[in-house]
Amino acid sequence: MAQATSYNTVGDREDLTDFLTILEPEDTPKLSTFNKGPGQSNVFQEWQMDNLNPVNIGGIPEGQDVQSFNDQVANRFRTGNYTQLFREPWQVSQLQEASNPAGVSDEVANSKEKAMRVVKRSIEAAIGSDNEMQQDTGAVGYKLRGLGKWVQSTAQSTNPVNALYLTPSASIDSTATASLSESNFNDVFQSAFQAVGGARNYTLFAGPSLKRAISNFQRVTGATGTTKTYMVTQAADQHKIDLNVTVYEGDFHQVTIIPDLFNGLLDGAQPSSTTSQQKARGYVINPDLVALSYMIGLESRELPDMGGGRRGFVTAALTLVCKNPKGLGKFAATS
């Protein structure tokens, strides 16, 4: 039987399904969980750190008068961070606003909502970044110091933290995630215990490679070329094998582990284009020692329509308050 070799499709209707899918990293756990500090009234927000004088167990002779006096605030230190302005503009032309795109009921509302999501992602990336604080010069804007610069054992290049309050080097582990052991992991928390005293509850914001390395702590893996054995004790009626570690309780800590793709970024880097450093980075956070302080809360502003269509922007201005980096830690591997 003869078969047609051409078809006229002029009258065919398009079949555009009425939904719209966006796939980008959007979880912002640090922004969602960090305490909210008092709002600042200046772009450079400051706070103080202090410590206690050494203990004295030498004994005092009976009847001896006080012969010397100690300045109890000799080590008081003042530091701060710049407030960073975040902004994402949007615009919808008159014709586009009048159109009926698939999966969108209101193009203006959709644009505002997307701009807000972008600002939240930008804030999360700045918090977990390796950015150093930066003063506005007219050519460049204010920039907050990210956790990558707060949590380090050496002095920062700008407005350095007093050596007494820097993160101890033992609280920062740079072991490649493929080689990370429980001993390496617990050393970080032991160092934090020795620095601040007392067991603490922490949150670890961990890149995906670091998260997998921690989950491997509960597994016994065979030698190269042999079958891997996972040893897990669970009730048989659960009908599943759980290989996910979300809470780790050690000798000096209990840590909740939260996967996070917004760690260790630099200007221009994108969370969806993951680097080895980004996947291996993790921040050990004592919730009492960090906060986000807003000068301008997350808000949407609409500008006058000058004829090209409705337009506006979503904005926020805030800084990261790191009350004392001595009590924090970091997993700083590059792979």
Band (13; pLDDT cuts 50, 70, 90) = low
Other beta carbons within 10 angstroms of residue 65's beta carbon come to 4
Residue 23's pLDDT band (boundaries 50, 70, 90)?
very low
Q: Choose from 25-34, 100-109, 255-264 the range with maximum mean pLDDT.
A: 255-264
Domain ranges within the chain, ordered by starting residue: 29-47+76-220+243-331
Most confident range, picked from 14-18, 51-55, 95-99, 140-144: 140-144
Q: Across the chain, what does the average pLDDT equal?
A: 85
Tell me the two tokens of residue 106.
């209101």
| pLDDT above 70 coverage of the chain, percent | 83
Output the pTM of the full model.
Answer: 0.86
Greater pLDDT, 17 or 311: 311
State the pLDDT at residue 144. 96
Q: What tokens were used for 213?
A: 């390395």
pLDDT at residue 273, rounded to an integer: 77
Q: Which residues of 288-307 are buried (b: 16+ CB within 10 A; e: fewer)?
A: ebbbbbbbeebebeeeeeee
Confidence of residue 284 (pLDDT cuts 50, 70, 90): very high
Give me 303's structure tokens: 């500008």
| Residue 267 pLDDT exceeds 80 | no
3-state class (DSSP) for residue 68: coil
Strand order across the 247-249 sheet: 172-173, 329-331, 282-285, 200-206, 253-259, 247-249
Helix, strand and coil percent figures for the chain, each rounded to 5: 25, 25, 50
In this predicted structure, the answer to whether residue 3 has a pLDDT above a threshold of 90 is no
